[in-house]
Amino acid sequence: MQKILILSLLGCLSLSSAVAALDTSATDYGIGYGPRPAYLIEKLPEGALKEKLQSCAGQTPSRSLFSIGHRGAPLLFPEHTVESNVAAAQMGAGILECDVTFTKDHELICRHAQNDLHTTTNILTTDLAETCITPFAPASESHPATAECRSSEITLEQFRSLEPKMDSADKAALTAEAYQGGTADWRSTLFADGAATMTHAESINLFKRLGAKFTPELKAPSVEMPFNNFSQADYAQKLIDEYKAAGIPATDVWAQSFNLEDVLYWIEHEPEFGKQAVFLDNSYNLESFNPNDPETFPHDFNELHAKGVNYIAPPMWFLVTEQNGEMLPSAYARAASAAGLKLITWTLERSGPLTNGGGWYFQSVAPLVTDASSYYQILDVLAQEVKVEGVFSDWPATVTYYANCMGL
């Protein structure tokens, strides 16, 4: 009862008070799976995987570094909030993520993008709407509703005044108030009230109290760098400096970036943190890229490893392929592993119901995807055959259950 009371109060307290209310021992909160893993397992076809996962039904849940909270637990909670990360930790996520961007006064905050305030907060219905790069414009017969609001246009104090919400926008909206809607019908606004945003430094404090480790992602700026005498190197360095100031060992941090230069900066200037720096691969932006054709790979994996890159993180569909009715490791997965790179992947539970081939994240194995049981089918291949080090998920309980059952 005390644990439930503390969590219910989080929505009423200031962020600093909410973080302080969390006990320093994560075990005081307990770890649980909830009903979703059993729901997914029941849908699996009869066979060894289903039998194995069902045999673990009575296991005691425990935290796993294989289970990574993707922006917390945004399937049901507003991303990058205290509540979203508390939920992820309660589902046993051993690593939690803060996507890191910055405000006008160079303070680091947790946001998926520097220009997402119009979809992740209530900024358009506040006086700060006047700071938006693209003011709200209603939908017309020929154009959807539009807006763009950036954290780099407001101060940290102003950012703190905003209320987070589920990442969504109603593109048919005629008013800024209506634009706040649009949440996918397989997500929920049930847990959005009173959610608290975080600075990057506050996320470090929170994750430490929750007993989790850290994977911050340095997000690409929407503004031209340097910005107000804030260079890209300053930005990358400040991220690391906030872990050092908090006394967090480098071995507990997997700093990420889609920008290879950021990763190489950490390797050169912060070598202890650079050992676990993660290069996020966005080769999906290249029309020619094919994860089963090495001739199309834009990166030489051996060269990356020689430069000191030890981790690479592509989306799930890079790592699996369909062959003769089976999910198997792709040529990309085999080549990266052969070069000595450790693999992390994203993002499980982000596709909604899997009745239409699974969409973007399952595109390389779409013919094999018929229902939600494919979440566990692809996870099994990623873990057992691709040998990934960890999996990001929008609902970490699914991955935690699997990791606990398989001894990962």
C-beta of residue 221 within 8 angstroms of C-beta of residue 259? no
* Residue 356: predicted pLDDT: 82
Q: Are 377 and 327 in contact (CB under 8 A)?
A: yes
Q: Convert the pLDDT of each residue in 319-360 to its tens digit.
A: 999 999 999 999 999 999 999 999 999 999 999 999 888 999
Q: What are the DSSP calls for 342-398, one per residue?
A: EEEEEEET-S-S-SSS-GGGGGGGGGG--STTHHHHHHHHIIIII--SEEEESSTHH
Share of the chain above pLDDT 70, in %: 93
pLDDT at 221 over 60: yes
pLDDT category at 305 given cuts 50, 70, 90 is very high
How distant is the alpha carbon of residue 21 from its chain centre?
25
pLDDT tens-digit readout, 96-117: 999 999 999 999 999 999 999 9
Which band of pLDDT confidence, cut at 50, 70 and 90, is reported for residue 61?
A: very high
pLDDT at 19 over 70: no
- For the beta carbon of residue 290, count every other beta carbon within 10 angstroms: 16
For the segment 257-279, what is each residue's pLDDT rounded down to a tens digit?
Answer: 999 999 999 999 999 999 999 99
Q: Does residue 119 surpass a pLDDT of 80?
A: yes
Question: Is the per-residue pLDDT at 28 higher than 70?
Answer: no
Contacts of 20 (CB under 8 A, 6+ apart): none
Q: Which of 341, 396, 324, 330 is nearest to 363 (CA)?
A: 330
| Residue 1 banded pLDDT, cuts 50, 70, 90 | very low
92: alpha, beta or left? (left if phi > 0; alpha if psi -120 to 50):
left
Pick the closest to residue 60 from 93, 39, 30 (CA basis).
30
For residues 156-170, average pLDDT: 98
Q: Average pLDDT, stretch 81-106?
A: 98
What mean pLDDT value characterizes the chain?
93
CA–CA separation, 4 and 21 (whole Å): 12
Residue 4 has pLDDT above 50, yes or no: no
- Distance between CA atoms of residues 55 and 51, nearest Å: 6
Q: Is the pLDDT of residue 29 over 80?
A: no
109, 110, 111, 115: CA torsion to nearest 10: 10
Residues 6+ apart with CB under 8 A from 303: none
Whether residue 12 is predicted with pLDDT greater than 70 in this model: the reply is: no
C-alpha dihedral, 146 to 152 to 156 to 157, nearest 10°: -60
Where do the H-state alpha helices sit in 26-170? Answer: 36-43, 48-55, 82-90, 117-120, 156-160
pLDDT over threshold 90, residue 406: yes
Model's pTM, two decimal places? 0.93
Can you tell me the distance from the alpha carbon of 98 to that of 198, in angstroms, rounded to the nearest whole number?
Answer: 9
Torsion of CA 76, 80, 85, 91, to 10 degrees: 40
Identify whether the C-beta of residue 181 lies closer than 8 Å to the C-beta of residue 172: no
Q: What local confidence, expressed as pLDDT, does residue 251 receive?
A: 98
Chain segment 388-403, per-residue pLDDT in tens: 999 999 999 999 999 9
Tokens of 4: 């439930």
Domain ranges of the chain: 2-100+108-113+198-406
Residue carrying the six token digits 């991955």: 399
Which amino acid would we find at residue 38?
A
CATH code that applies to domain 2-100+108-113+198-406: 3.20.20.190
Predicted pLDDT of residue 26: 36
Cα 10 to Cα 21, 77, 87, 309, 311: the distances in Å are: 8, 13, 12, 39, 35
Closest to 349 (Cα-Cα) out of 98, 42, 40, 64: 40
Identify which of 254, 259, 258 has the alpha carbon closest to the alpha carbon of residue 272: 254
- pLDDT recorded at residue 22: 44
Query: Which of these, 332, 349, 326, lies nearest to 388 by C-alpha position?
Result: 332
Sequence-distant (6+) residues with CB within 8 A of 283 are: 289, 297, 298, 299, 314, 318
| Residue 244 pLDDT exceeds 50 | yes
**pLDDT for the residue 81:** 98
Tally of CB atoms within 10 A around 158: 18
Q: List CB contacts of 139: < 8 A, sequence separation 6 or more.
A: 145, 171, 172, 173, 174
Give me the mean pLDDT over the 69-95 stretch.
98
Q: What pLDDT sits at residue 357?
A: 86
